[in-house]
Amino acid sequence: MSELAEITQFLAAREPWSLLSPGQISAFAQRAVGQYVRRGTVVLAAGAAPTAMYVVRSGAIEIVDADGNLVDHDEQGACFGQSSIIEERPSRFTFTAIEDSLLWGFSPETVRELVATPEIRRYFTEARLADATRHVPDGGPVLQVPVADMVTRAPVTITADATVGQAAAVMDENRISAILVTEGDALVGILTDRDLRRVVAHDVSPSSPLVEAMSRDPFRISHDALALDVLLSLVQHKIHHLPVMDGDALVGMVTSGDLMRLERSSPLYVVGDLARQDDVAGLARVMARVPKLVGRLLRQDATAEDISRIVSRTTEALWQRLLDMAQAELGAPPVPYCWVALGSLARNEQALASDQDHALILADDALPEHDAYFSAMAEYVTAALVECGFPRCKGEAMATNPQWRKPLAAWQREFSTWLSAPTSEAVLNSSIFFDMRPIHGDHTLFTALQQRVLRTAPQSSRFLGHLAKHANDAEVPIGFLRGFVVEKKGEHRDRLDIKLGGINPIVDVARIYALRWGLPQVSTRGRLLAAAEHGAEVGNLLDAHEFLGYTRLQHQGSQVARGEAPHNYIDPETLSEFDRRHLRDAFSIVAKAQSALTVAFQTQFIS
């Protein structure tokens, strides 16, 4: 009877062990050494020579390259350390246990015996090659792309006997900024937008021969050159277009725009791509790239503020495209309108896992019969947003709700009521509706509403008092001895909601400051900085906001990397001791800001 059936079975079910006979697996299992490592333990550091190959029996290992970029996670059954042993070189990656892990170690001699089996050797080598390609960051070394891969369409050409006007017409029709001129099969010239500018400036007739306006014998590039060569040629010759040749045959053209577009995950590209989509499915596909974009920005060490601004800007472009599409389908709007974002998108503070909050301000000449149009518009956009990954707002703060789709005057009355007769519902609404930003349509409708609110709010002391009290209700998740207060049960047991307990209270404090002093800023950072000019103490709060925002994005980024749906619940135990300490500090800053509000607004005397 095999003493190690449990171990042999585990290995036999996995590659590369499954390539061996049961007897061989059993013999190798005899040589494994069990080890237990705590979460946070570095098992093998980049630059160190491995003393063993490890199999992850349980737990999880995080793989980070020498620059600190997260490369991958190894889960149950994965092997690591073997490549360095086989090639007798130091490890390129740092392997850290991110959960308490049980590892089986195999000595270098055992590994060398293992790879004496050709199938095993091939498995390890191929896995490593797959790794090498996987480790190229999104859009990675874009300048190594062959020119042939950049050419997206057959070359648009015109014969040398055509007129300037004919060439311009073909360019216009094909929506291109340059056209190639041929004689027989040979490329003889190029006519660009810049040449046409000269034609117009010198009052040359459109019926004049093309050959007089074009650049003769243009610079060209071989189809097997790299994007890097394209960049160098364009810069060197101060041009924007390069014909691509296969020997003497013309195969296409690359432009400076194509080079920029190579940077596939750049935020500019995502926004540009959204503008080019004609259907919701296409928009959803582009939006699916956003989580990866966040991961990339985190690796580039962008701040939480910058990342959320880019995410917000992308969402904004999506909304704008959807509203254009809605209008194309429904026809022109019967009266002017302004589509506004509420909440985090309005503040330019969107992270991943956001729902949708929006409203419609209509011009005051809107008639009841016009509502059908705007209702259809709201339904169209809301449904499309769901398809693009933004769930409907649970509190129904959406333009599909007739309460939040009305003329400017009605909005002004609504806000006046909230400010003058604060009810708990008004206070609740304020956290959404006082963070508002125009996205599409007539922005003056928004400005009119905002100015009125900012004029009235500073005098509404009862309302501000209620707001301050409400901001104080949010419980910061630290308890006695500064331990974290985590969820006691349910799906998120042992985790804390970093948004509800940390980020939202800061947002609330900043909003109260904005209303108290009538500040037009909508972003939390903008509001706090402006409040500082009125004497508010905001330095620590700004830091805490950035830290909590960054921690949340990092958490969501690694969730995305693991293929999970991002959310706001963080297990403090998964953070480093350093980050845990900072998290506690950030939470106590939030708690202090809350009690400072109590003093400022004397909340204890209200209700």
Partner 1 sequence: MDHVISVGMVDVDGFRIPLGTATNFLVDPGVGVGQSAIIHQLTDDELLAKGATPEEALDRVFGRLAGRILLAHHAAIEVGFLAAAVKRLYGITIEIPVVDTLGLGHRALGFGEDHPRDALRLWKLRVRAGLPSYKGHDAVVDALACAELYLALAQELDLTTLGQAIRLS
216-225 CB burial, b ≥16 within 10 A, e <16: eebeebebeb
Is residue 4 within the footprint of partner 1 (CB under 8 A)? yes
- Of 3, 246, 473, 475, the one binding partner 1 (CB under 8 A) is 3
Q: Is the CB of 56 or the CB of 199 nearer to partner 1?
A: 56
Which range binds partner 1 by CB under 8 A, 28-36, 309-317, 391-399, 418-426?
Answer: 28-36
What mask of x and - would describe binding to partner 1 in positions 147 to 176, judged by CB under 8 A?
------------------------------
Query: At closest approach, how far in Å is the CB of 9 from partner 1?
Result: 8
Beta bridge partners of 405: 360
Q: Which is nearer to partner 1, 41 or 416 (CB)?
A: 41
- Of 2-10, 272-280, 314-322, 491-499: span binding partner 1 (CB under 8 A): 2-10
Closer of 24 and 166 to partner 1 (Cβ): 24
Question: Residues for the chain: how many in total?
Answer: 607
Q: How far is the CB of 29 from partner 1 (least distance, A)?
A: 6
Does 13 contact partner 1 by CB under 8 A?
Answer: no
Q: Is 510 in the site for partner 1 (CB under 8 A)?
A: no
- With residue 35 as reference, give the H or E element that holds it: strand 33-37
Torsion angle of C-alpha atoms 307, 309, 311, 314, degrees rounded to 10: -140
The smaller minimum CB distance to partner 1, of residues 31 and 261, is found at 31
Q: Which residues contact 566 (CB under 8 A, 6 or more apart)?
A: 291, 351, 352, 353, 555, 556, 559, 560
* Least CB distance to partner 1 at residue 577 (A): 15
Alpha carbons 44 and 498: distance in angstroms, whole number: 32
Rule CB under 8 A: say whether 33 interacts with partner 1.
yes
Binding status of residue 7 toward partner 1 by CB under 8 A: yes
Answer yes or no: are the C-beta atoms of 227 and 107 closer than 8 Å.
Answer: no
One-letter-per-residue 3-state SS of 177-240: CEEEEEECCEEEEEEEHHHHHHHHHCCCCCCCEHHHHCEECCCCEECCCEHHHHHHHHHHHCCC
- Least gap, CB of 455 to partner 1 (angstroms): 59
Q: Which is nearer to partner 1, 36 or 367 (CB)?
A: 36
Q: What is the x/- site pattern for partner 1, positions 94-113, by CB under 8 A? A: -----xxxx-xx--------
Q: Which C-beta is closer to partner 1: that of 5 or that of 281? A: 5
Asked if residues 40 and 572 have their Cβ atoms less than 8 Å apart, the reply is: no
Q: In the set 18, 21, 22, 38, which binds partner 1 (CB under 8 A)? A: 38
Measure the CA–CA gap between 295 and 299, rounded to whole angstroms. Answer: 6
Q: How far is the CB of 263 from partner 1 (least distance, A)?
A: 41
Identify the bridge partners of residue 484 per DSSP, sorted by sequence position.
Answer: 478
Tell me the closest approach of the beta carbon of residue 5 to partner 1, in angstroms. 6
Concatenated DSSP letters for 307-367?
HHHHHHHHHHHHHHHHHHHHHHHH-S-SS-EEEEEETTTTTT---SS--B-EEEEEPTT--
According to CB under 8 A, which one of 6, 172, 248, 577 is a site residue for partner 1? 6
Residue 432: phi and psi, rounded to 5, are: -95, -50
Query: What is the residue whose two structure tokens read 């506004």?
Result: 340
Element (H, E) at 267: helix 267-276
Identity of the residue, 1 or 328, whose beta carbon is nearer to partner 1 in the bound complex: 1
Q: Please give the residues from 43 up to 82 whose contact with partner 1 meets the rule CB under 8 A.
A: 57-59, 76
Shortest distance (Å) from residue 37 CB to partner 1: 8
Q: Which of 14, 18, 23, 34 binds partner 1 (CB under 8 A)?
A: 34
Q: Give the tokens for residue 123.
A: 């498995």
Shortest CB 97 distance to partner 1, Å: 10
**Region binding partner 1 by CB under 8 A among candidate stretches 27-35, 350-358, 385-393, 502-510:** 27-35
Query: Minimum CB separation from partner 1 for residue 74, in Å?
Result: 15
Place of tokens 């170690």: 105
Strands (DSSP E) contained in 473-568 are: 496-497
Between residues 36 and 130, which has the closer beta carbon with respect to partner 1? 36
Pick the closer one to partner 1 by CB: 55 or 359. Answer: 55
From 3-11, 156-164, 243-251, 253-261, span contacting partner 1 (CB under 8 A)? 3-11
- CB nearer to partner 1: pick between 30 and 595: 30
Two tokens, residue 500: 């509800």
Following DSSP, what letter does each residue of 581-600 receive, concatenated?
A: HHHHHHHHHHHHHHHHHHHH
Vertex 277 angle, CA 272 and 280, to 5° = 130
- Within 13 A of 101's CA, how many CA atoms are on the CB side? 28
Contact 344, 351 (CB under 8 A): yes
Does a cis peptide bond (omega within 30 degrees of 0) precede residue 16? yes
Among positions 12, 15, 19, 35, the unique one binding partner 1 when judged by CB under 8 A = 35
Torsion angle defined by CA atoms of residues 357, 362, 368 and 372, in that order, rounded to the nearest 10 degrees: -50
| DSSP 8-state class, residue 538 | -
| 233 alpha carbon, distance to own chain's centre | 33
User: Minimum distance between the CB of residue 104 and partner 1, rounded to whole angstroms?
Assistant: 7
- Smaller CB separation from partner 1, 11 or 397: 11
Please report how close the Cβ of residue 482 comes to partner 1 at its closest, in angstroms: 19
CB of 75 to partner 1, least distance (A): 12
**Minimum Å distance from CB 86 to partner 1?**
22
The interface region with partner 1, picked from 36-44, 194-202, 206-214, 283-291 by CB under 8 A, is 36-44
Three-state DSSP class for residue 254: strand
Question: Residue 112 Cβ, how far from partner 1 at the closest point, in Å?
Answer: 18
Site size for partner 1 (CB under 8 A): 26
Tell me if 333 sits within 8 A of 596, measured CB to CB. no
Mark the segment that binds partner 1 (CB under 8 A) among 23-31, 144-152, 158-166, 378-386.
23-31
CB of 54 to partner 1, least distance (A): 12
**Cα 183 to Cα 225: distance, rounded to the nearest angstrom:** 25
Residue numbers of the site for partner 1 (CB under 8 A)?
A: 1, 3-7, 29-38, 57-59, 76, 99-102, 104-105
